[in-house]
Amino acid sequence: MKVSVYIASSLDGYIAGTKGEIEWLHDPAYALPGEDFGYSDFMQSFDVIAMGKNTFEKVLEFSEWPFAGKRVVVLSRSLAALPAGVSAELSHEPPAALVARLRADGAGRVYVDGGRLISSFLAAGLVTDLTLTRIPVLFGEGLPLFSSLPGRLQLKHFSTRSWSNSFVQSCYGAA
């Protein structure tokens, strides 16, 4: 089973502003007509998305649920239940236990989303591939992509692409 990360960050490594702002990800200045930077293909490639509480709460603010037809697992130590009517399941499992359960359920690929959750999956040695798109903006402060790692984690570079809007996307795997 693959455990994948697909995420964008600022050049200085932030995934959101200090209050969780993510509108910068859709800044019209960076739009390229007909280009989604591989997002649609990626969305079709996974069976399950595992997201942290903060990411889940941000997604609930969207005008429509972006994961229709996908199994969604929200990992949280603090939530007792999810809001009624939400097509997701709540888990209090550590990453390794969740991955083992999903593997036993027959999942082929899990998409991990949320800065702290990504870091916990990396720390547990569970991430098989990581796609990172760098957007040419500097925040100076905000919510970092990587935090609380146990030390240096070596990755293997697979590929890098760039676009005329200055986005740079690199794909990595476990070393």
- Mean pLDDT, the chain, integer: 96
Percent of the chain scored above 70 by pLDDT? 100
pLDDT of residue 2: 98
pLDDT category at 175 given cuts 50, 70, 90 is confident
By the 10 Å C-beta count (0-12 exposed, 13-18 middle, 19+ buried), 145 is classed as buried
Percent of the chain scored above 90 by pLDDT? 95
pLDDT category at 139 given cuts 50, 70, 90 is very high
Task: State the Cα–Cα distance between residues 8 and 14, nearest whole angstrom.
Answer: 9
Rounded mean pLDDT, 22-43:
94
Query: What domains are there in the chain, each with its CATH number?
Result: 2-174 (3.40.430.10)
pLDDT category at 148 given cuts 50, 70, 90 is confident
Strand order in the sheet with 109-113: 89-91, 71-75, 48-52, 109-113, 2-10, 129-135, 168-174, 155-162
